[in-house]
Structure 1
Amino acid sequence: MKNIWKVILLTLVLVVLILVVKFGYGYLTGQYLGVENSNIKQELKEANDFEVYDEEGSRVKLSDYKGSKPVVINIWASWCGPCKAEMPYFEDAINKYSDKVEFLMINLTDGQRETKEKALKFLKDNNLEMDILFDLDYSAANAYNIRGIPRTIFIDKVGNIIYDREGALNDEILETNIKKLIK
């Protein structure tokens, strides 16, 4: 009789565990892939301005683009594996959408681990033909409290953040959020 109760209890625990794993995995997968819960209303947050530099050393501010086109900001470094993995997705998106969306590919340039030369060499070695900007003064990093890279921020035409992602993204997530910007 004791064995029957143990089997019943063990079966119940196993069923509960399976349900927790199934629903927990589904929820976390949705969070990871950027799938929004339609029951949650997202508040728009105004994008923080920053100042970075182009290859020639000219200053570029995020606010320079406000009111003209939506902006996709990607903050990256050449030593970052996930950053390198998503770069081809960005190059494809830039080639496809640069007439409708501005892409600011911002390199975290600390002068030691990451230099302008290392970033430019990475692009050349990987046949990536995109313009990049350099965060020499940590202006973008501080404006968005960068704790991890890559970081991608999607900003609408009027300067509101519509999606902010820390961590790598795939081509589907990039495409979906660019299409939201364009609408």
Structure 2
Amino acid sequence: MRSILMIALVLMTLSLSAQNLPSADVKKLSGQVVNTSTFSNDGKPLVVSFWATWCKPCVKELNAYNDYYMDWKDETGVKIIAVSTDDTRSSGRVAPYVNARGWQFDVFLDENGEFKRAMNVANVPHTFLIDGNGKIVWQHTAYVDGDEHELYDKLLEITEK
């Protein structure tokens, strides 16, 4: 039985990396519900980063992304989406938190964890790079200073093809 479960988990993970984003409802900071299957960037790369207000490495990562975002966007056309995994008890803190930092990318709330589960995210920060065809081509967990340069290199790889 364990073997079957392990094989199923591996196949599910492999299929996730070869498919478009799963369907789950998240909220804009304004409260409007949006389905994640509609996340796209007109044939250009998309970065989806899962984070939480209580996660210091998450905030460092998103601050670093924000520092480079406009340059990356000009060079590659990338769009960054940050998905907060704060639950309903703490999600009210997200908008003031984001506004205080001046992040220039879109931020969504995944209060019930539906999108997080669908993407097999166990820990934050967890970042996905999706190519212009909607396929997940790279993912990264955790954050140390400089990891944003690896993401940038991957962005260049998929936009130069």
TM-score scaled by length of structure 2: 0.74
**Is 1:154 aligned with 2:129?**
yes
**Contact preservation (8 Å) 1:123, 1:129:** no
Task: Supply the AA of the counterpart residue of 1:157.
Answer: G
The number of residue pairs the alignment matches comes to 140
Mapped to 1, the partners of 2:151 and 2:119 lie a distance apart of 19
Q: Does 1:120 align with 2:104?
A: no
The change in CA–CA distance for 1:103 and 1:149 in structure 2 (over 3 A counts) is same
Q: Which residue of 2 aligns with 1:104?
A: 81
Taking CA–CA contacts closer than 8 Å with sequence separation of 6 or more, which of the two structures ends up with the larger relative contact order?
Answer: 2
How far apart, in 2, do the equivalents of 1:92 and 1:126 lie?
11
Q: Distance in 2 between matches of 1:71 and 1:172?
A: 16
TM, length-normalised to structure 1: 0.66
Cα distance, 1:66 vs. partner? 6.8
**1:55 maps to amino acid:** L
Give the aligned partner of residue 29 of structure 1: none
Deviations 1:60-119, CA, capped at 9 Å, x for gaps: 33332175322100000010011011122211232223361221111113112x31x312
Tell me how far apart the structure 2 counterparts of residues 61 and 96 of structure 1 sit (CA, whole Å): 28
Partner of 2:153: 176
Alignment CA distance shift 1:126-1:66 (3 Å): closer
- 2:114 pairs with 1:139: yes
**Where does structure 2 lack aligned partners over 5 or more consecutive residues?**
1-13
Question: Which residue identity does 1:57 align to in structure 2?
Answer: G
Cα deviation 1:26-58 (Å, max 9, x = unaligned): xxxxxxxxxxxxxxxx99521332331112222
For residue 137 of structure 1, give the secondary structure of its aligned residue in structure 2. Answer: coil
Measure the CA separation in 1 of the matches of 2:42 and 2:149: 26
Structure 1: gaps (5+ residues) = 1-41
Amino acid at match of 2:114: S
Equivalent position to 1:73, from 42, 48, 54: 48
Q: For 1:142, give the aligned amino acid.
A: R
Partner secondary structure for residue 106 of structure 2: coil
Query: In angstroms, what is the RMSD of aligned CA positions?
Result: 2.4
Aligned AA for 2:131? D
Q: Give the match for residue 54 of structure 1.
A: 28
| Deviant stretches of 4+, over 6 Å | none
